[in-house]
Amino acid sequence: MREKITRQAILQVSEEIVNQEGYESLTLAKLAKVLKIKTPSLYNHISNLNDLRNELAVHALKQLSHQIMMSAVGKAGDVALKSIGLADIHFMSENPGLYDAMLRAPDPQNEEIEKISSEIISMLLRVLEPYHLSEEHAIHIIRGLRALSHGFNTLERRGGFNMNVPLEDSISVAFDTFIKGMITTLKK
Amino acid sequence: MREKITRQAILQVSEEIVNQEGYESLTLAKLAKVLKIKTPSLYNHISNLNDLRNELAVHALKQLSHQIMMSAVGKAGDVALKSIGLADIHFMSENPGLYDAMLRAPDPQNEEIEKISSEIISMLLRVLEPYHLSEEHAIHIIRGLRALSHGFNTLERRGGFNMNVPLEDSISVAFDTFIKGMITTLKK
DNA sequence: GTTGACAAACTAATAACATTAGTTTATATT
DNA sequence: AATATAAACTAATGTTATTAGTTTGTCAAC
């Protein structure tokens, strides 16, 4: 019996490669080598490299979405918001390659990607409900939170800052600051 | 007389390529074609592709730094902070490829990159002086602002959100929210 | 059990890329 | 005018992704 090479197995190996060696290091040659087949044989399972990259992005988004949901279960308000933000950052810390795959999907308008993204957004909208923001304002806030997460991801990757001031703390303070700003604006 | 191919000319053409066709499209082959020389001749001017990418990142950072400084001249406090944030976003909007080059520098710990980065940071520290934050707190705030900028850059590139709510507005609201949060925290 | 179909492997070949080595040529300096 | 040097060139190599065409293994129907 041959070794079963499934779509799942391919994604699995791809995930390991990007997380361990970086997004750029995911080549069909390397992938084939790990799977112990010749490069062109991969085309029986994927349609091309970009296709694989998109699937990897979906794969990543699914995991991230799951982790985010988990982190918010049983929490509300500020606490839930901050939890979600930290979960996002934590995910990228543990899965740098996957996070990259998400941000660098060749086709970000891909149907499946959009679907999961909007799931995440509607969950965030629910968390924001107690604040009674206008729908438009809520969207602004959600985008701000996402921007903070993605931005810290970028900063972390580039590294090289003053380590007397740990990045962890900055992340925590930044979320607190943003959330406080949101609440203060409401009370006016 | 031959056409003069200077380091500056190479950076110039590289900049055009990345801004018009995307960061990935900067290849030595394409660069050589535009400059009307053969690919290997480029090695008389640069040491390799990664070297060029690093230089492009420096080039980008210099421009960004300049624009940011300009935007803050004659302004103070909240107004200055928001100006700087918007200038950052504006720069990336006008120079998507260059902004990418900045974020994807092969060697982010590069000496020159660090130098310009720390210049920007010390300028931001000066802008924050009137608030009398602790040095540590100021660093957190600066990182938060940078994260917001970089994050919105990422979001803008990926596009595909509800355009009933313009991204411009979200950016503005996010900066306001963050700055308000900072001030509120102080007053306690 | 043999046959036949299909999936999934293979080999061979091509085109785009970065990079190195070795050679020629043009310009500027002595 | 002679020569040194910078900067172009050609030729070659190794790594990619990708396509076409072929073989082979497995499973189901007969």
Question: Is the distance from CB of B81 to CB of B179 less than 8 angstroms?
Answer: yes
Residue B6 confidence (pLDDT): 87
Instruction: Give the Cα separation of B5 and B17 in Å (integer).
Output: 17
| Environment class of A86 (CB within 10 Å of its CB; exposed 0-12, middle 13-18, buried 19+) | middle
* Token pair listed for A12: 């699995």
Share of chain B above pLDDT 90, in %: 84
Nearest CA in chain A to B177: A181
Which residue carries 């100021």 as its tokens?
Answer: B138
Instruction: Give the Cα separation of A65 and B123 in Å (integer).
Output: 38
Counting every residue written for chain B, the total comes to 188
**Statement: B50-187 belongs to CATH 1.10.357.10:** yes
Per-domain residue ranges for chain A?
58-187
Residue A5 confidence (pLDDT): 80
Q: Work out how many CB contacts closer than 8 A connect A with B.
A: 144
Residue B163 confidence (pLDDT): 74
Q: Report the 10 Å Cβ neighbour count for A15.
A: 19
* Token pair listed for A74: 């049983």
pLDDT tens-place string over residues B160-171: 666 789 999 999
Alpha carbon of A22 to those of A9, A14, A65, A98: distances in Å? 19, 10, 22, 9
Residue B1 confidence (pLDDT): 38
Find the CB nearest B155 among A136, A147, A177. A147
Question: Is the distance from CB of A116 to CB of A88 less than 8 angstroms?
Answer: no
Superfamily classification of domain A58-187: Tetracycline Repressor, domain 2 (1.10.357.10)
Numbered residues of chain A with Cβ closer than 8 Å to any chain B Cβ? 103, 108-109, 114, 136-137, 139-141, 143-144, 146-152, 154-155, 157-162, 164-165, 167, 169-170, 173-174, 176-182, 184-185
> Which amino acid is it at A152?
F
Does the pLDDT value for residue B64 go beyond 80? yes
Residue B48 confidence (pLDDT): 97
Q: How far is the CA of A2 from the C1' of C1 (A)?
A: 23
- Element of type H or E holding B129: none
Reported confidence tier of residue B156, pLDDT bands at 50, 70, 90? confident
* Token pair listed for A60: 């990543």
Does the pLDDT value for residue B145 go beyond 50? yes
- By C1' distance from the Cα of A25, the closest nucleotide is D16
* Contact positions of strand C to protein Cβ (< 7 A): 7-13, 16-22, 26-27
B104, B170, B183: best to mutate for the A interface, most A CBs within 10 A: B170
Decide if B162 and A139 are in contact by the 8 Å CB cutoff: yes
Residues of B in contact with A161 (CB under 8 A): 143
Residue from B105, B71, B147 nearest A154 by CA: B147
List of residues 6+ apart from A117 with CB closer than 8 A: A61
pLDDT tens digits, chain A, 188 residues: what are they? 345 788 899 999 999 999 999 999 999 999 999 999 999 999 999 999 999 999 999 999 999 999 999 999 999 999 999 999 999 999 999 999 999 999 999 998 889 998 999 899 999 999 999 999 999 999 999 999 999 999 998 888 887 666 789 999 999 999 999 999 999 999 86
3-state secondary structure of A146: helix
Residue B70 confidence (pLDDT): 96
Residues with CB under 7 A from strand C: A 2-3, 5, 37-38, 40-41, 43-45; B 1-2, 27-30, 39-40, 43, 48-50
